Amino acid sequence: MPQIVKDFQGQTVITTFEMTPATAFDLMEALEVAYRDCISLQPGFVAAGLHMNDARTRICNYSQWQRREDYQAMLRSPEMRERNRQINELCRGFEPVMYEVTGVF
């Protein structure tokens, strides 16, 4: 389970996905399967959370990794490259962005 703390020494990644309500649940299912069967098993994975907005037009993914390089290695793996091609077909696009926790309230 993600724990958001200011002194987190790992890498935080927030990814937003844009889709239509028609593909929202298919995309969420693909992401859940990817986390269950692949991403959560990768070296350096700490935790993640998936969120969907009420309009079913956006999914936000919050993930934590021990190191930036662990996250990048996961993205480069053959399995995730194939999964990301499939995920991309279910949405208009997605953008992962690396962050640093600067405050918790």
Q: What is the mean pLDDT of residues 74-80?
A: 96
Q: What percent of the chain has pLDDT over 70?
A: 100
Q: What is the CATH number of the domain that holds 94?
A: 3.30.70.100
pLDDT at 41 over 90: yes
Q: What percent of the chain has pLDDT over 90?
A: 94
DSSP output for 36-93: HHTGGGSTTEEEEEEEE-TTSSEEEEEEEES-HHHHHHHHHSHHHHHHHHHHHHTSSE
Residue 93 forms part of a structural domain: yes
* Count of structural domains within the chain: 1
Residue 6 forms part of a structural domain: no
Q: What pLDDT sits at residue 79?
A: 96
pLDDT at 52 over 90: yes
Residue 2 forms part of a structural domain: no
In which domain, by residue range, is 81 found? 11-99
